[in-house]
Amino acid sequence: MTSSLMYINLNLRTSLSTSLTIGGKKTQFRNSFFSRASPFAILKVYLPCKAECSMARGILFIAGNGPAPERIAEIVQKDDVICAADGGLDTALACGIHPRFVVGDMDSLADRRVLEDLPPEAVMVYPEDKDKTDTEIGIAQLRQLNCCPIIIIGGGEGRLDHTLGLIKCFEKEQPPDMWYTAREIIRPLLCSAEIKANPGAPVSVYPLGTGPWRIESRGLHWEIDKVNWNAGAMSLSNRFRNGRVFFEVKAGRFLLILCNRPSSYQSGIVRRSKLAKVSRRPCLS
């Protein structure tokens, strides 16, 4: 299986068309990681990508708090492949979205009778005692269909052990590309990315996996080039300085956590009441 480097360029002045270069050939397509209404936009992303990727986006709804229905309507696109993991089906149906597949042990569904309204071939029921979480099963299902990117919706403010399990998904060989909760936009940093947000927008950076780690930034209030990640440090409640940050990962991988509350950005800065709680230290260890 051959791999190559995928370069994505989002043109924010048009309809968020995307320029893809694989093996020297340039192709235009409209899929993007962020919707136009998001307070954040990825301007450039460099990431490993399999050349045979179908480029159909995969959306995985999971149990737990996710964005508001109107926000989900902005994220999900017409040609996306939709999968729901267990209780994520409730969220999808509440938004008028009918998944192509439903997977999991179905122990967190509000009413299992909703499964009767779905085609039998679309429902994949697993035993409660298993080695993979419902989220991992959903991701694997979308991977089998060569979906790229894979975006998770939901999973916010739930059980701590489930949250830690979700974070572990980003340490795997093929992690999800984006995770939307009710309050955050979460994505892995594997290579390099340039991200735009309003000045003052909060952002946190955490090391993933076993390291070693090294990353350089340009545009943060506290640059993270010299952070000793190997000592257990993290960049918590950092801020965009001028509205645009470039990250270059030199070693390891990182998790980027952005605020998913557009109202916090209407004035172009974070509200003072929020800033008052932000630590003045660039990182915690």
Checking DSSP bridges between strand 41-50 and strand 3-10, what pairing results, if any? antiparallel
**CA–CA separation, 256 and 136 (whole Å):** 20
Is the link from the previous residue into 119 a cis peptide, with omega within 30 of 0? Answer: no
| pLDDT at position 260 | 65
pLDDT by residue (tens digit) across 136-152?
Answer: 999 999 999 999 999 99
Q: What 3-state DSSP class applies to 124?
A: strand
Residue type, 268: G
Task: Give the H/E segment covering residue 280.
Answer: none
CA proximity to 51, closest of 92, 1, 120: 1
| pLDDT at position 261 | 57
Task: Record the pTM.
Answer: 0.74
Residues in the chain: 285
| pLDDT at position 265 | 34
**CA–CA separation, 195 and 245 (whole Å):** 5
User: Which CATH architecture describes the domain 185-285?
Assistant: 3-Layer(aba) Sandwich (3.40)
Residues 6+ away with beta carbon under 8 Å from 3: 48, 49, 50, 51
Could you tell me how far CA 206 lies from the centroid of its own chain?
Answer: 14
| pLDDT at position 34 | 38
CA proximity to 279, closest of 221, 211, 212: 221
Q: Note every long-range contact of 230-233, with CB atoms under 8 Å and residues 24 or more positions apart, other chains counting.
A: 231/285, 232/285, 233/207, 233/283, 233/284, 233/285
Q: Are 134 and 86 in contact (CB under 8 A)?
A: yes
Q: Where in the chain is the domain with CATH 3.40.50.10240?
A: 50-182, 185-285
Q: Are 105 and 134 in contact (CB under 8 A)?
A: yes
pLDDT by residue (tens digit) across 213-266?
Answer: 999 999 999 999 999 998 889 999 999 998 899 999 999 999 999 986 554 332
- The token pair at 68 is 């508001």
Checking DSSP bridges between strand 3-10 and strand 18-22, what pairing results, if any? antiparallel
CA proximity to 149, closest of 32, 25, 17: 32
Largest Cα–Cα separation, the chain: 56
- The token pair at 173 is 């060989």
Residues 6+ away with beta carbon under 8 Å from 143: 58, 150, 174
Q: Are 27 and 7 in contact (CB under 8 A)?
A: no
CA proximity to 154, closest of 145, 142, 162: 162
**CA–CA separation, 262 and 191 (whole Å):** 27
CA proximity to 47, closest of 3, 9, 5, 1: 5
| pLDDT at position 235 | 94
Which of the following CATH numbers is that of domain 50-182: 3.30.300.180, 3.40.50.880, 3.40.50.10240, 2.60.40.10?
Answer: 3.40.50.10240
pLDDT tens track, the chain, 285 positions: 333 333 333 322 223 333 333 334 343 333 333 333 444 554 444 444 443 445 789 999 999 999 999 999 999 999 999 999 999 999 999 999 999 999 999 988 889 999 988 999 999 999 988 889 999 999 999 999 999 999 999 998 878 888 898 899 999 988 999 999 998 999 999 988 999 888 999 999 999 998 899 999 999 999 999 999 988 899 999 999 988 999 999 999 999 999 865 543 322 222 222 322 322 233 332
